[in-house]
Structure 1
Amino acid sequence: MSSTWAVAVVTAALRNLLQTTVPALDTVLSDLSVTTRTPDVARKTVTGASLNLFLFGTAVNAGWRNQDPPRTRPGESATPPLALNLHYLVTAYGRDDTDQDAVSHRALGAAMSVLHDHSVLSPDELTGALANSDVAGQPERVRITPLPLTTDDLSKLWTAFQTNLRVSAAYEVTVVLIDSHNPADAALPVLNRGNNDDGVQTVLGAAAALTALVPPRSQAAAVQGQPVVVTGSNLTAVDTVIRFTSMWRPLPPEQPLPPVEVAPTPGTQPGQLVVVPPDLGIDPFAWGHWMPGFYTAAAVTRTPGRPAVLSNAVAFALAPAVTLTPHAPATVSVGGTATLTCSPRIGDGQDVVVLCDSIPATATVTNPSPGDPGYSSTPSTVTFAVPDLPAGLHTVRLRVDGVDSIPVLFTGAVPAFDPAQQVNIT
């Protein structure tokens, strides 16, 4: 194919073709000049009969644009060449000494006859126009075809040239291929197709489809250690785990939480599963892999010898588990401060709000340092200023990234507020 000289090569080849062929057809045009100027300056320094060849537009060739690049082997990828259609305007002029419109008409007729009979530019013509251009080596020949233009189209063109309209003929020259400068990507040979060279594996049957993760008593969120019901279709506990991915985006230099996979058990209803986010008091691993807030949950089924199958993702809210210190209920004077612990730990950059009844309070979060003793099991500490509320018991909730702690106990005959999450204002 060719370099960026390709357009100039085609223009020069067309000019040479007209310059050498048209005078041979008509002796009256023996003094013919062929220029490649804009129409407004086509006659400057030219007094005899002339033809002006003007490139007035280009268009991308849709057919070649969607073709694989030439000389690309199967399995390789490369950028296709720039494929262009060139639009030319051929305008004829007579002699200036007398009224020579007839001469211009003869010149135009001869030019159109040449382009009609010579509809393909040969490799020799392209090479002779400009050496070392490589246009002659492209796989597609350069063809010349008439380009119909209405009188309105011609009027708009000549108005843009800001000169008087002359009778002209338009042609499309196609296709000109310009090599891409992006390197091709030649992949190494394939040594095996999957494990044991067993090729592509196809898994038949529908994947699990999750509908929701339902916390106990259909609450808005669940705390760690509580069973959560997984609802959906095509659910099975065999070879399946529930993958929890935190939506928390940490501040540097903190790292995002890695996804956590928890094995479910069969539910009480057909087609249901039960999953329990690990209790921090039982599973020390959970301290570094959970934070309060929102998660996405998906079912991952790994059947031995087959690819893993991933379900859709649904939302899950993990509530912070909080306790006011030093005792329950904590007694605080008006305008004082109170402290609560939160597990799992709160991440840097999480949005934290303390609510006393329904009144927000300013809060400060403190986390242990990685080198502190007992770091792996030490919760976050949240200190807040008690708002101006009437004396008496007030329920405290901690809201982390929009997920509230659960201040209710369900151990009695009727639900009751948890004394460990209440302050007694005196």
Structure 2
Amino acid sequence: MSNVLAIAATTRTLRNLLLAQVPVLDAELSDLEVTLQPPDVARKGISKAQLNLFLYQVVANAAWRNLDLPGQVRPGETAPPPLALNLHYVITAWGRGENDNDAISHRVLAAAMSTLHDRGVLDGNDIRNALPDNDLAGQVERVRVTPLPQSVDELSRLWTAFQTNYRASAVYEAAVVLIDSQAAMRAPLPVLRRGPQDRGVITTASAAAVLDALDYPRHQAAVRLGEDIVLNGRQLATDHALARFSSLRLDAPIDLAPLPGDAAGTLRVHLADTADDADAVARWAPGIYTVALLVQPPGLPPLLSNELPLVLAPRIVLGSLAAAAGDFALNLTCTPRIRDGQRVFLLFGDRLLAPASLGNPADMQQPTALVFKLTGVAAGRYTVRLRVDGADSIPVDFSGSAPAFAADQQVVVS
């Protein structure tokens, strides 16, 4: 690769090449001067035959932009790629004298193009002699000079940018120039052991389970602790399987053993409440989860299915089911406990209220206590719901022949 002198070294190499070879091709051009000026000022103070080489554009090389250099980065190592550049030059010829001689300028341009045609790859010795301390000649890719075709419109816009009168010119590209990145390379230590007991890679012919759908009990919009969900999918089995429930509100996923479903291709998962798990109040949090099936046979790596969204609804107990019209405070408790940062609202009839206070008792088996302040409540019967992170409590009683709003989820205001 090369250092930051690479662009200047390329330009000087091209200048020296043209200055040395053009007079050899045409003896009439022994007084040729090769300049590196912008075209609008290149001719000032010069009356000899002249060739101007101007670097007008530098673009990134797409092919080398994200490539690791051969021999520098080994598998497992990371290093920033080099700065890979294509250099675009315009060469312009002049004859002798103030009035210029088109025949001479045409000979200059032809000899220059012939030189670049015959020496399309820059010689390493020419590069090293062009500029002290440059190491462009040592890069892994040779610098090649090729014509860059330009339409009349493109040439017109180019010379308009130069703000000078158009002259017959040729455009060339020098590519690729690789400049070393100064960022550090990272090389990890060799691998001493591949997996447990250095067994290496483990393969299995089993396919991971695929979950297609999730059914809530009684076609509800969510599940509550103490209820079951049904997983529908393919490659479902209970052997060495766990249903994994994940939530941003939990420090770690919750794994539950599934049971066979009532139909083929289904599994049933019971979400234990306090009757079966004394720590359920603190283990879970109301809100949005994802559920996946994890299968890990002994001695084999785990296989994890895709994930499905799941809504865990809070259960609430109202402190009072009656209140006087006007202003009053409504107390309730929520199971499971609400975690820090969760968004909590009370839906009281058609009102949406934030809690006036929210607290979790020191006893981890006790539910969250909330207080809501209501104002100007008219007489009537109001159904109450608690919304936590978008999961609403279910104010429905399913024990009868038809669903109805549960009496213990309503407040009678009189």
The normalised TM-score by structure 2 is 0.91
User: What are the superposed Cα offsets for residues 277-308 of structure 1, whole Å, 9 maximum, x if unpaired?
Assistant: 22134423333331112211111111111111
Deviation at 1:393, TM superposition (A): 4.9
- Find the aligned partners of 1:66 and 1:353 in 2 and give their Cα distance: 50
Q: Identity over aligned residues, as a percent?
A: 48
Which residue number in structure 2 is paired with residue 71 of structure 1?
71
Residue 214 of structure 1 pairs with residue 205 of structure 2? no
Where in structure 2 are the equivalents of 1:351-370 lying within 5 Å?
Answer: 351-360=343-352, 363-368=355-360
Deviation at 1:381, TM superposition (A): 1.6
Deviation at 1:217, TM superposition (A): 1.2
Change (3 A) 1:266 1:49: same
Which of the numbers 393, 396, 413 marks the counterpart of 1:405? 393
Which residue number in structure 2 is paired with residue 181 of structure 1?
182
Secondary structure in structure 1 of the residue aligned to 2:294: strand
Paired residues in the alignment total 412
Question: Residue type of the partner of 2:188?
Answer: A
Deviation at 1:110, TM superposition (A): 2.3
Residue 234 of structure 1 pairs with residue 235 of structure 2? yes
User: What are the superposed Cα offsets for residues 143-163 of structure 1, whole Å, 9 maximum, x if unpaired?
Assistant: 223333333332222222111
Which residue number in structure 2 is paired with residue 149 of structure 1?
150
Change (3 A) 1:360 1:183: closer
Secondary structure in structure 1 of the residue aligned to 2:40: helix
The normalised TM-score by structure 1 is 0.88
- Find the aligned partners of 2:348 and 2:177 in 1 and give their Cα distance: 75
Secondary structure in structure 2 of the residue aligned to 1:10: helix
- Find the aligned partners of 1:85 and 1:357 in 2 and give their Cα distance: 69
Deviation at 1:134, TM superposition (A): 0.5
Question: Residue type of the partner of 2:311?
Answer: A
Where in structure 2 are the equivalents of 1:14-413 lying within 5 Å?
Answer: 14-65=14-65, 67-75=67-75, 76-97=77-98, 99-248=100-249, 256-325=250-319, 330-335=321-326, 336-360=328-352, 363-368=355-360, 372=362, 375-385=363-373, 391=379, 393-412=381-400
Change (3 A) 1:269 1:51: same
- Find the aligned partners of 1:80 and 1:356 in 2 and give their Cα distance: 61
Question: Residue type of the partner of 1:424?
Answer: V
Secondary structure in structure 1 of the residue aligned to 2:306: strand
User: What are the superposed Cα offsets for residues 317-355 of structure 1, whole Å, 9 maximum, x if unpaired?
Assistant: 1111111225xxx33211232311111122334333333
RMSD of aligned C-alpha atoms? 2.4
Change (3 A) 1:321 1:36: same
- Find the aligned partners of 1:294 and 1:266 in 2 and give their Cα distance: 25
CA contact (8 A) 1:367 1:379 kept: no
Greater displacement, 221-230 / 128-137: 221-230
Change (3 A) 1:285 1:117: same
CA contact (8 A) 1:81 1:180 kept: yes
- Find the aligned partners of 1:116 and 1:419 in 2 and give their Cα distance: 94
Greater displacement, 179-188 / 145-154: 145-154
Question: Residue type of the partner of 1:309?
Answer: L
Which residue number in structure 2 is paired with residue 253 of structure 1?
none
Deviation at 1:312, TM superposition (A): 1.3
Q: Which runs of 5+ in 1 are unaligned?
A: 249-255
Q: Which runs of 5+ in 2 are unaligned?
A: none
Change (3 A) 1:159 1:357: closer
Question: Residue type of the partner of 1:403?
Answer: A
Question: Residue type of the partner of 2:138?
Answer: G
CA contact (8 A) 1:318 1:403 kept: yes
CA contact (8 A) 2:279 2:365 kept: no
Which residue number in structure 2 is paired with residue 251 of structure 1?
none
Which residue number in structure 2 is paired with residue 252 of structure 1?
none
- Find the aligned partners of 1:30 and 1:209 in 2 and give their Cα distance: 80
CA contact (8 A) 1:257 1:289 kept: no
User: What are the superposed Cα offsets for residues 186-222 of structure 1, whole Å, 9 maximum, x if unpaired?
Assistant: 2211112222222222232332122333222121122
Change (3 A) 1:217 1:168: same
Deviation at 1:247, TM superposition (A): 4.9
- Find the aligned partners of 2:118 and 2:380 in 1 and give their Cα distance: 105
Deviation at 1:124, TM superposition (A): 1.3
Secondary structure in structure 2 of the residue aligned to 1:39: coil
- Find the aligned partners of 1:367 and 1:384 in 2 and give their Cα distance: 12
Residue 425 of structure 1 pairs with residue 409 of structure 2? no
CA contact (8 A) 1:331 1:424 kept: yes
CA contact (8 A) 1:359 1:387 kept: no
